[in-house]
Chains A and B, each alone.
Chain A
């Protein structure tokens, strides 16, 4: 295990994400998207007929829906030609489905995740880990003590077989139907991999479970689906990480996340997104929260060429609550369009949205958010805070919140600020002996601290390292 230790000392974070592996796969779908492709994927996965039918219906919806092009300031999606994407690659693993021991994986895949530090993190800080390589989950393991309590953490394809009733009821039905948006429909047609998490009543999973998603091949699309069902009174923290090496052709990531938060249950969903800067990251994430339940979304969007991501929460039951914490960092050539959506559909519901964005070297960050308070959602409250930091005059930062209030007994507040790094702050730190770069880096770390302090220490360190990397050489 000494090799596992070695990579942690590796300081060049970029090298840790940017390495490429030779593409080896046992099955690769043709480029493009046709009914035939869908049938081949579904058959390769040996899926039940109803799933094939759902895929085909989603494909039809995808073909009928127009590409979103008229949102003010949205990322340019004209390059995203689905017919140029390889939608499905099954990596070359011995066994069908995933293994539960890293050493059973082919060397080059194991080596990938070693470099990313996943096995090491599993030993120290996690209840369970799933790792997806290309289109399939190759590794999945959970500590036995959770298995004994009835907690399920398995790859989504396996769940279709082993928990068919649960999946059939919850998969892209009442939370994220394929008709929601064009990329949700695309996802519904060609989804592959992802995690299925089931936490029984009154069970608290006290260490996070994590899934890591890695795209290795050029020009591929990854479409993993995550379904989390937290029963009454349960608690779970799910973390996803993602990365890919950089190629000249574009990659597409269009994941789907559905979270069912039962009565008085608590789910935290954390993401540290570090896709390579040729990746289009177009996701649909949504949670349905029952009475007294609580949903937390924590997202760090660092990578990708363009991101469009607005995690949404529907507060269905009385007293349900939601917290959103998002951080976006857009450097050269990046357009990070992100935000949050919350629907207050019941009385005494609460939400808070905290967004921090940083743009530099011509990067663009957009905050786009919606808070809707339905008629009858009495005594609900929401507070939205957006802060943006801009490094230079080539960059852009837009804030576009929408508030729809149909109930009078509410407390609604929105606040936003935009500014540059304060010269006085830099001067103060310099007078204490820091050089210009360190001072600015420290100010940025302080700016995003409200986010990093919500993450487990390993991820906070990771996020800070990514921010440092983004800022390296850019200051002065």
Chain B
């Protein structure tokens, strides 16, 4: 099954976007190739069991959601010493060779229908370059979406023995009514022995459909740690993935989400162990209130040559409301026996004994429950190295609990 091309999309549209940015020929070609491929590509895979489709992406009406020529955003970028943090367009001019070499090297624009749409139409995004030996903290990207639709492409390149901590926040302004679409692709290419922590916090308004694919190519001795926080949006499809391609590569994927009203979160964490002595740890915690629904797929794929692998996965969902629904599928794909792998998943409600204990200490039930929910997120919050991101998540969780 492939999805039809929206009528308002044509080669002309793509050329116009590229010309406005004065882009080099190779980028225009990449955009046009992605546009061409659209008719042959499928939407990202969604889990389907007898009688139940976990997320319905077919309901996305690109005809009305996508307005390619009127994209607009305000993005604030904070750099750190020794690191280049540039709007994508500027990077194409300033680092033409590097951008050309790395663009699409981790996330193939023709991976699926949504990545191709994003590659053909993106107008914003950030390029982050960390030269050899540089240690940088607190690189920040704060993006605000002002239009009906927005497509963003972020590329992070680290040289050998460098380290960087990146914080990304995405929001919407209030200027657009009804449904909107935000597409956010992030690719990280790592040098040997480099370290990246990429923390993302999504707090879009609840009319926005959100697709994000974040993928890292983790090289020898390199570490990429992802933090993926999802609070806003009407529907989110989030794929956070690490390919451990170098020996002794490591990755941690930490996820947190809090759904209420009729929000739908389809969050996925996947890791491929393709080399020796690699380690991965996947930790996701989510809370669901009202009629919110979550879908989680975690994949630990250990390749035939991935000797001495350690791979762990935990997923916990807390349900605050009887109308909420949670689907989960943690998967182990093991092709090398020299592996220590485990996964666990739980779904439950606030522990009644804990609640009883706290109310017996004179706390009103509502406050006791809120404290327990905040406590539920602690194991995830502890993984966040950036104070600001951790505080933002805490604040948003607290706000939602007190609504």
Chain A stretch 394-417: residues in CB contact (< 8 A) with chain B = 395-417
Residues of B within 8 A of A408 (CB): 319-322, 324, 349
Query: Given the known A-B contacts A393-B304, A400-B331, are A418 and B341 also in contact in the complex, defined by CB atoms under 8 Å?
Result: yes
Evaluate contact between A414 and B345: CB separation under 8 angstroms.
yes
Evaluate contact between B333 and A398: CB separation under 8 angstroms.
yes
**Measured between alpha carbons, how far is A415 from B313 in the docked complex, in Å?**
10
> Counting CB contacts under 8 A, is A62 at the interface?
no
Q: Name the contact of B338 in the complex, choosing from A393, A414, A415, A416 (C-beta under 8 A).
A: A393
Evaluate contact between A415 and B347: CB separation under 8 angstroms.
no
Evaluate contact between B332 and A405: CB separation under 8 angstroms.
no
19 of the cross-chain contacts (CB-CB < 8 Å) are A398-B332, A401-B330, A401-B345, A403-B327, A403-B328, A403-B329, A404-B52, A405-B326, A410-B349, A412-B345, A414-B344, A416-B332, A416-B343, A417-B341, A418-B334, A418-B339, A418-B340, A418-B341, A420-B338
Report the nearest A residue to B307, measured CB to CB: A393
Name A's B-contacting residues (CB within 8 A): 73, 370, 372, 375, 388, 390-393, 395-420
Evaluate contact between B342 and A73: CB separation under 8 angstroms.
no
Interface centre among A397, A401, A403 (most CB of B within 10 A): A403
Residues of B within 8 A of A375 (CB): 322, 325
Evaluate contact between B322 and A397: CB separation under 8 angstroms.
no
Residues of A within 8 A of B329 (CB): 400-403
Q: Taking the nearest CB of chain B, how far is it from the CB of A46, in angstroms?
A: 36
> Counting CB contacts under 8 A, is B337 at the interface?
yes
> Counting CB contacts under 8 A, is B403 at the interface?
no
Chain B stretch 192-247: residues in CB contact (< 8 A) with chain A = none
Residues of A within 8 A of B320 (CB): 408
> Counting CB contacts under 8 A, is B335 at the interface?
yes
Residues of B within 8 A of A415 (CB): 342-344
Residues of A within 8 A of B20 (CB): none
Evaluate contact between B333 and A413: CB separation under 8 angstroms.
no
Report the nearest B residue to A414, measured CB to CB: B345
**Measured between alpha carbons, how far is A411 from B347 in the docked complex, in Å?**
6
Residues of A within 8 A of B332 (CB): 388, 397-400, 416, 418
Query: Given the known A-B contacts A390-B337, A415-B344, A416-B342, are A409 and B331 also in contact in the complex, defined by CB atoms under 8 Å?
Result: no
> Counting CB contacts under 8 A, is B27 at the interface?
no
Q: Taking the nearest CB of chain B, how far is it from the CB of A310, in angstroms?
A: 11
> Counting CB contacts under 8 A, is B348 at the interface?
yes
Name B's A-contacting residues (CB within 8 A): 47, 49, 52, 54, 304, 317, 319-322, 324-349
**Measured between alpha carbons, how far is A407 from B325 in the docked complex, in Å?**
7
Query: Given the known A-B contacts A400-B329, A408-B321, are A417 and B348 also in contact in the complex, defined by CB atoms under 8 Å?
Result: no
Q: Taking the nearest CB of chain A, how far is it from the CB of B292, in angstroms?
A: 11
**Measured between alpha carbons, how far is A31 from B98 in the docked complex, in Å?**
64
Evaluate contact between A411 and B348: CB separation under 8 angstroms.
yes
Evaluate contact between B348 and A390: CB separation under 8 angstroms.
no
Residues of A within 8 A of B322 (CB): 375, 407-409
Query: Given the known A-B contacts A393-B336, A416-B342, are A405 and B330 also in contact in the complex, defined by CB atoms under 8 Å?
Result: no
Residues of A within 8 A of B319 (CB): 405, 408, 410
A-B contact count (CB 8 A): 113
Residues of B within 8 A of A405 (CB): 317, 319, 325-328, 347
Task: Classify the secondary structure of A's interface with B.
Answer: strand
Query: Given the known A-B contacts A398-B333, A404-B49, A404-B52, are A416 and B325 also in contact in the complex, defined by CB atoms under 8 Å?
Result: no
Residues of A within 8 A of B341 (CB): 417-419
Q: Taking the nearest CB of chain A, how far is it from the CB of B331, in angstroms?
A: 5
Residues of B within 8 A of A410 (CB): 319, 347-349
**Measured between alpha carbons, how far is A404 from B349 in the docked complex, in Å?**
15
Evaluate contact between A395 and B346: CB separation under 8 angstroms.
no
Residues of A within 8 A of B328 (CB): 402-403, 405, 414
Q: Taking the nearest CB of chain A, how far is it from the CB of B357, in angstroms?
A: 18
Report the nearest B residue to A367, measured CB to CB: B332
Report the nearest A residue to B314, measured CB to CB: A415
Report the nearest A residue to B318, measured CB to CB: A408
- Ranked nearest first, the 7 interchain pairs of A and B with the lowest CB-CB distance are A390-B337, A408-B319, A412-B347, A399-B332, A420-B337, A417-B342, A415-B344
- Given A413-B346, A414-B343, A419-B340, 9 new contacts (CB under 8 A): A375-B325, A393-B338, A404-B52, A404-B54, A404-B327, A405-B327, A409-B322, A417-B341, A419-B337
Q: Taking the nearest CB of chain B, how far is it from the CB of A399, in angstroms?
A: 4
Residues of A within 8 A of B325 (CB): 375, 404-406
**Measured between alpha carbons, how far is A390 from B52 in the docked complex, in Å?**
33
**Measured between alpha carbons, how far is A391 from B338 in the docked complex, in Å?**
9
Residues of B within 8 A of A412 (CB): 345-348
Residues of B within 8 A of A395 (CB): 337
Residues of A within 8 A of B333 (CB): 73, 396, 398
Evaluate contact between B348 and A416: CB separation under 8 angstroms.
no
Evaluate contact between A399 and B331: CB separation under 8 angstroms.
yes
Residues of A within 8 A of B317 (CB): 405
Evaluate contact between A409 and B337: CB separation under 8 angstroms.
no
Residues of B within 8 A of A406 (CB): 325
**Measured between alpha carbons, how far is A406 from B52 in the docked complex, in Å?**
12
Evaluate contact between B334 and A402: CB separation under 8 angstroms.
no
Residues of B within 8 A of A370 (CB): 49
Residues of A within 8 A of B347 (CB): 403, 405, 410, 412
Query: Given the known A-B contacts A393-B304, A405-B347, A411-B348, are A416 and B330 also in contact in the complex, defined by CB atoms under 8 Å?
Result: yes
**Measured between alpha carbons, how far is A419 from B334 in the docked complex, in Å?**
9
**Measured between alpha carbons, how far is A17 from B329 in the docked complex, in Å?**
39
Q: Taking the nearest CB of chain B, how far is it from the CB of A214, in angstroms?
A: 33
Q: Taking the nearest CB of chain B, how far is it from the CB of A65, in angstroms?
A: 13
Report the nearest A residue to B296, measured CB to CB: A403
**Measured between alpha carbons, how far is A416 from B336 in the docked complex, in Å?**
16
**Measured between alpha carbons, how far is A400 from B49 in the docked complex, in Å?**
12
Residues of A within 8 A of B52 (CB): 372, 404
**Measured between alpha carbons, how far is A390 from B347 in the docked complex, in Å?**
29
Evaluate contact between A399 and B326: CB separation under 8 angstroms.
no
Q: Taking the nearest CB of chain A, how far is it from the CB of B286, in angstroms?
A: 12
Q: Name the contact of A396 in the complex, choosing from B324, B335, B338, B349 (C-beta under 8 A).
A: B335
**Measured between alpha carbons, how far is A388 from B322 in the docked complex, in Å?**
35
Q: Taking the nearest CB of chain A, how far is it from the CB of B314, in angstroms?
A: 10
**Measured between alpha carbons, how far is A408 from B336 in the docked complex, in Å?**
38
Report the nearest B residue to A398, measured CB to CB: B333
Residues of A within 8 A of B47 (CB): 402
**Measured between alpha carbons, how far is A25 from B280 in the docked complex, in Å?**
59
**Measured between alpha carbons, how far is A395 from B341 in the docked complex, in Å?**
15
**Measured between alpha carbons, how far is A393 from B339 in the docked complex, in Å?**
10
**Measured between alpha carbons, how far is A375 from B329 in the docked complex, in Å?**
19
Evaluate contact between B345 and A391: CB separation under 8 angstroms.
no
Report the nearest B residue to A180, measured CB to CB: B50
Q: Taking the nearest CB of chain B, how far is it from the CB of A420, in angstroms?
A: 4
Residues of A within 8 A of B49 (CB): 370, 372, 402, 404
Residues of B within 8 A of A403 (CB): 326-329, 345, 347
Q: Taking the nearest CB of chain B, how far is it from the CB of A403, in angstroms?
A: 5
Evaluate contact between A391 and B327: CB separation under 8 angstroms.
no
Q: Taking the nearest CB of chain B, how far is it from the CB of A419, in angstroms?
A: 6
**Measured between alpha carbons, how far is A392 from B304 in the docked complex, in Å?**
10
